[in-house]
Amino acid sequence: MERACSIAIIGGGPAGIMTAAFLDKNFDITIFEPKLLLGTLLPTGGGKCNITNAEPEFKTFAANYPRGEKFLYSVFSRFSALDAIEYFNKIGIKTLTLGNGRVFPEKMDSAFVRAKLLEQISHCNIEKAKVTDIARSVDGFKITAGKSEYYFDKVVVTIGGHGDFSILDNLGVKIIPPKPALTGLCTRTSYKNISGLVLKEVINKQTGLCGDLLFTHFGVSGPLVFKVSSLKARDDFPYTLSFDLTGGKLPDSAAFQRVLNSNPKKEIKTLLAAYLPKNFVQIFLNGCGMDGDIQCYKIDGKNRDLVLEELKNYKITVTKPRPDGETVMAGGVDLNSVHPKTLECKNISGLFFAGEVLDIDGFCGGFNLQNCWSGSFIVANTINTGK
Ligand SMILES: Cc1cc2nc3c(=O)[nH]c(=O)nc-3n(C[C@H](O)[C@H](O)[C@H](O)COP(=O)(O)OP(=O)(O)OC[C@H]3O[C@@H](n4cnc5c(N)ncnc54)[C@H](O)[C@@H]3O)c2cc1C
């Protein structure tokens, strides 16, 4: 009898487990994972698992990936979010859609999703071991994990964005250095004493994005900052962000002058409280070198311009990402070395990649897990069909 094709999956996160689930059952499949299988799925969506996004148009869907957008066109055209939802329903995970198209399991429980997905891979061999090297052998691959060596016909690498990429050194796979993304940001100015304060609907000038800015004990955070951190993930630190704190509500200098002129006796701190939360006003005025008690008629033209400029271009210098605060890593296996139609390495036949190990990362909203589901399908389908 012919020996079954042997396949090693390196990493038992969402991409690895889903690859195993999509592969034909007659293969000899081994998953290498030193930690809890699908352990990384448990904290997703705050434990509720934002499993994908219901955005129907695949180009709009792909626009949610600062890295990988064009590469994903062909991936999503063959396995979309709708295909993923259909698959989840088929294996007993009913879904519901909440705001911004975010899709969750009806049970709102990532442990339930984990259990259902693990049911799909009960036929696979599990090696509770960390792979330390992957090398080519005569007719396949040699995997080293600790002191043990294993031989396989094909290898699927699904070690995520936090894995040790040096296991690919022997294969010469090009890696784009991973950088934290979707993260809070540490700032040069301390906002500790206003931690928890939110500025509503501000506009970030560098990206044009609008949203709420949350001050924290380490700097700034919240959905707007997460998105900005992704778009700037490859920038060197420190960098400066500027925000229109009025959210575009103060149109021009003349309008601002009119506001000051019609309230001559008012203190500037009282007047600014119409635009900013009260406990932020003095921090803001400190930045302008101005005393909050000064009455509007006493403020000269230069200082009026300064206040307006600061309102429209409030600068925050970012020193680093929040340590261990990232949701995903930007970087990983260079997309130029991978076929988008098969996710097979261009130079090494039989070597595949899926999930966050690739230089693909998305915004919040279910996009990062969808990258795993779609990539896993493509890899498994390529191996299943032999194409
Ligand atoms: C707190 C948090 C919440 C999130 N919430 C969401 C969400 O709601 N929706 C969403 O779409 N995305 C979310 N994400 C992102 C999402 O979890 C990841 O993009 C996704 O887990 C990536 O899956 P992966 O399988 O590619 O990699 P990983 O999940 O990182 O899994 C890789 C696995 O490989 C193993 N591994 C690494 N190196 C080796 C090795 N040498 N040998 C063997 N095994 C190895 C690791 O132990 C790990 O289990 C969230 C992330 C975080 C941190």
Q: Which atom of ligand 1 is nearest to the CA of 369?
A: 11
Task: Please say if the pLDDT value at position 283 is more than 70.
Answer: yes
Cα(353) to centroid(ligand 1), Å: 14
What kind of architecture, by CATH, is found in domain 6-180+327-385?
3-Layer(bba) Sandwich (3.50)
pLDDT at residue 205 in the model:
95
pLDDT tens digits along 199-247: 999 999 999 999 999 999 999 999 999 999 999 999 999 999 999 998 8
Question: Do residues 178 and 187 touch, judged by C-beta distance below 8 A?
Answer: no
Q: Of all protein residues, whose CA lies closest to atom 3 belonging to ligand 1?
A: 44
Lowest mean pLDDT among 64-68, 281-285, 367-371, 374-378: 281-285
Structure tokens at 254: 């003349």
Q: Read out DSSP for 186-214?
A: EESS--GGGTT-EEEEEEETTT--EEEEE
Task: Please say if the pLDDT value at position 36 is more than 80.
Answer: yes
Cα(193) to centroid(ligand 1), Å: 34
Cα(208) to centroid(ligand 1), Å: 29
Residues 6+ positions from 381 with CB-CB distance below 8 Å: 22, 78, 79
pLDDT band at 251 (very low <50, low <70, confident <90, very high): low
Q: How far apart are the first and last CA of the chain?
A: 23
- Ligand 1: residue of 44, 168, 221 to mutate (most ligand atoms within 8 A of CB) is 44
Which of 116, 96, 14 lies closest to 54, judged by CA?
Answer: 96
pLDDT at residue 257 in the model:
87
Residues 162-186 as b/e (b if ≥16 CB within 10 A, e otherwise) read ebebebbeebebebbebbbbbbbbb
The stretch 296-321 carries a mean pLDDT of 94
What is the DSSP secondary structure assignment for residue 125, as one 8-state letter? Answer: E
Q: How far apart are CA 274 and CA 281, in angstroms?
A: 10
Cα(256) to centroid(ligand 1), Å: 49
Percentage with pLDDT > 70 across the chain: 99
Q: How far apart are CA 281 and CA 302, in angstroms?
A: 19
Cα(130) to centroid(ligand 1), Å: 15
pLDDT at residue 52 in the model:
98
pLDDT tens digits along 38-51: 999 999 999 999 99
Determine whether the shortest distance from the Cβ of 104 to ligand 1 is under 6 A: no
Question: Do residues 357 and 159 touch, judged by C-beta distance below 8 A?
Answer: yes
pLDDT at residue 255 in the model:
82
pLDDT at residue 358 in the model:
98
What is the DSSP secondary structure assignment for residue 38, as one 8-state letter? Answer: T
Residue range(s) in the chain whose domain bears CATH number 3.50.50.60: 6-180+327-385
CA distances from 4 to 28, 196, 205 (A): 6, 57, 57
pLDDT at residue 256 in the model:
83
- Ligand 1: residue of 38, 67, 327 to mutate (most ligand atoms within 8 A of CB) is 327
Question: Do residues 143 and 149 touch, judged by C-beta distance below 8 A?
Answer: yes
The per-residue pLDDT of the chain, averaged, comes to 95
pLDDT band at 19 (very low <50, low <70, confident <90, very high): very high
